[in-house]
Amino acid sequence: MNAPGEGNTVGDGGGALSRRGTSHWAGEPVPVLERRWGVPLVEAHRTLGSTNDRLRELAGEGAPPFTVVVAEEQTAGRGRTGRAWHSPPGGIWMSVLLPEERTGRPPLTPLLVGLAVGRAIGDARPVLDPRIKWPNDVLVDGRKVCGILCEGAAGAGTVTGIGINVAGSMKELPAELRSRTATLEEVGGAAPDRPLLAGRVLRQLRELLDPPPPRIDAELGAELKALDALAGRRVVTSEGVRGRGAGIAPDGALLVETDAGDRIRLVAGSVRLCAER
């Protein structure tokens, strides 16, 4: 869904793909973004329903891995479990076509995408000290600054939607979400440059997921342990089980020590951090 006034075709780098959108994103020309980000194809939009939906269309037309769709604003941004994702101008609303995992239950891609964003934010602003909340949120000061939505594309790869709240405030969100959500500008005092930050994310995605690893090795495991927002913290699972985060297993499962004294593995769903320590 293009905004009125957007061109229909941008360049010819996409071959037979039905490329649409605008010529710039965040003030940078699309060909410059493709070169700096080291990706085969960027499609930029001023306004789009959801970058994930548009990338799935491109994947169906044969778009190559690491094709990127970005929008200044989404009118129907989607989050996990069918929630709406608030996507006003000023954020990074981006979808990337990642190579599909052949094995993996739980899939490692969402966790490693979270790690890629955490690394990128930490590299851009070390003082922010980002944490990963399993399976794939990125928190700064306990508040969510990034959400990730991975969706299959019928054998054409994994459509990976990344939403980073960069500039402005979350004041339009409902009150109960506002206290748990922030922009990087709110937590860091200044908004990072969006094209640079998106480029750091894409570089980390290539390093971590091209190709997707079969499991988390010792080095990655140590990094995830250091960044784990849930380790030792009181949590409640989406099934209502209460306990404490006990780390991430090499296959990507979340470990929880329950209040009943059991150690359980979560391979799907999510957990909520409890206020009490």
Count of residues that interact with ligand BTN, criterion CB under 6 A: 21
Find out whether 47 and 3 touch, Cβ atoms under 8 Å.
yes
Nearer to ligand BTN, 166 or 248 (CB): 166
114 binds ligand BTN, rule: CB under 6 A: no
- What is the three-class DSSP state of 126? helix
> Which tokens belong to 40?
């085969």
User: ω before 107 within 30° of 0 (cis)?
Assistant: no
Q: How far apart are CA 85 and CA 214, in angstroms?
A: 30
Closest distance of CB 111 from ligand BTN, Å = 13
Among 118, 130, 147, 157, binds ligand BTN (CB under 6 A): 147
Nearer to ligand BTN, 87 or 183 (CB): 87
For residue 196, give the nearest of 36, 2, 14 by alpha carbon: 36
For residue 205, CA distances in Å to 61, 109, 110, 116, 119 come to 23, 10, 11, 6, 10
Nearer to ligand BTN, 135 or 243 (CB): 135
Q: How far apart are CA 243 and CA 175, in angstroms?
A: 27
Nearer to ligand BTN, 94 or 209 (CB): 94
For residue 111, CA distances in Å to 35, 138, 168, 226 come to 27, 10, 27, 14
Among 25, 37, 66, 93, binds ligand BTN (CB under 6 A): 93
79 binds ligand BTN, rule: CB under 6 A: yes
95 binds ligand BTN, rule: CB under 6 A: yes
152 binds ligand BTN, rule: CB under 6 A: no
Nearer to ligand BTN, 82 or 218 (CB): 82
Contact positions vs ligand BTN (CB under 6 A) = 50-52, 74, 77-80, 83, 85, 87, 93-95, 137, 147-149, 161-163
